[in-house]
Structure 1
Amino acid sequence: MFSEIFYAVLAIAVVVGMVAALFYYVPVNLWITAIFSGVRVGLGDLIGMRLRRVQPHVIVESMIVATKAGLRDLELQDLETHYMAGGSVHSVIKALISAEKANIDLSFNQAAAIDLAGRDVFDAVQISVNPKVINTPAVAAVAQDGIQLIAKARVTVRANITQLVGGSGEETILARVGEGIVTSIGSSVSHKEVLENPDKISKLVLQKGLDAGTAFEILSIDIADIDVGENIGAKLQIDQANADLKVAEAKAEERRAMAVAVEQEMRAKAQASRAKVIEAEAEVPKSIAFALREGKLGIMDYYRMRNIQADTHMRESIAFPEEAIPKKNQSDDDDE
Structure 2
Amino acid sequence: GDSTGITRQGLEAHYLAGGRVPLVVQALIAAHKAGIRELDFKRAAAIDLAGRDVREAVQTSVYPKVIDCPGKNSGRESLDAVAKNGIQLKVKARVTVRTNLYQLIGGATEETIIARVGEGIVSAIGSAEKHSDVLENPDVISKTVLARRLDANTAFEIVSIDIADIDVGANIGARLQADQAEADTRVARANAEGRRAMAVAKEQEMIAAIEESRAALVESEAEVPKAVADSLASGQLGITDYYKLRNLQADTDMRRSIATGPIPAVAGGQ
Q: Does the aligned pair in 2 maintain the 1:313–1:324 contact within 8 Å?
A: no
Match of 1:110 in 2: 43
Alignment correspondent of 1:99? 31
* Structure 1 match to 2:62: 129
Partner residue, 2:53: 120
Cross-structure match for 2:228: 288
Letter in 2 for 1:115: D
Q: 1:181 aligns to what SS in structure 2?
A: helix
Deviations 1:20-47 (A, max 9, x none): xxxxxxxxxxxxxxxxxxxxxxxxxxxx
Q: Which amino acid aligns with 1:294?
A: S
Answer whether contact 1:143 1:190 (CA < 8 A) is retained: yes
Shift of 1:303: 3.0
Q: Output the CA distance in 1 between the equivalents of 2:4 and 2:214.
A: 120
SS at match of 1:163: coil
Aligned equivalents of 2:5, 2:214: Cα separation in 1: 118
2:67 & 2:180 partners in 1: Cα distance? Answer: 40
Measured in 1, the distance between the counterparts of 2:116 and 2:6 equals: 40
Superposition pairs of residues 320-335 of structure 1, within 5 angstroms:
321-323=258-260
Matches within 5 A, 1:4-153: 71=3, 73-104=5-36, 105-137=38-70, 138-153=78-93
Q: 1:287 to 1:133 in 2, by over 3 A?
A: same
Which structure is higher in helix share? 1
- Unaligned runs of at least 5 residues, structure 2: 71-77, 263-270
Task: Output the amino acid matched with 1:133.
Answer: V
Cα deviation, residue 305, structure 1: 3.0
1:217 aligns with 2:149: no
User: Paired residue for 1:267?
Assistant: 207
Q: CA deviation at 1:313?
A: 5.6
Count residues in correspondence.
Answer: 254
Partner of 2:237: 297
What do residues 92-128 of structure 1 show as CA deviations (whole Å, max 9, x unaligned)? Answer: 1222222223332112111000011111111101111
Kindly indicate whether the alpha-carbon contact (under 8 Å) linking 1:71 and 1:97 is maintained by their aligned counterparts in 2: no
When the two chains are superposed, the root-mean-square deviation of aligned CA atoms in Å is 2.0
- The CA distance in 2 between the partners of 1:255 and 1:74, in whole Å, is 89
CA distance in 2 between counterparts of 1:125 and 1:108 reads 13
Question: Normalising by structure 1, what TM-score?
Answer: 0.71
- 1:247 alignment counterpart: 187
Distance (whole Å) between structure 1 residues aligned to residue 133 and residue 162 of structure 2: 17
Residue aligned with 1:282, SS: helix
Tell me the amino acid that sits aligned with residue 14 of structure 2: H
In structure 2, the CA distance between the partners of 1:278 and 1:313, relative to structure 1 (3 Å rule), is closer
1:168 to 102, 105, 108: 108
Render the CA deviation track for 1:31-80: whole Å, top value 9, x for unaligned: xxxxxxxxxxxxxxxxxxxxxxxxxxxxxxxxxxxx7xx64743210111
Deviation at 1:161, TM superposition (A): 0.2
Identity, % of aligned positions: 62
Structure 2 counterpart SS, 1:145 = coil
Instruction: Indicate the residue corresponding to 1:159 in structure 2.
Output: 99
CA displacement, residues 221-265 of structure 1 (integer Å, 9 cap, x when unaligned): 010110001111111211111111111111111111111111111
Show CA shifts across 1:133-180 (max 9, x none): 111131111112111110000101000001111111111111111111
- Cross-structure match for 1:187: 127
Q: Taking structure 2 as the reference length, what is the TM-score of the superposition? A: 0.88
1:324 Cα offset (Å):
6.8
Tell me what 2:166 maps to.
226
Aligned 8 A contact 1:87 1:112 in 2? yes
Q: Equivalent residue for 2:216?
A: 276
Tell me if the contact between 1:92 and 1:115 (Cα under 8 Å) persists in the aligned partners: yes
Distance 2:242 2:3 in 1: 143
State the SS of the aligned residue for 1:162: coil
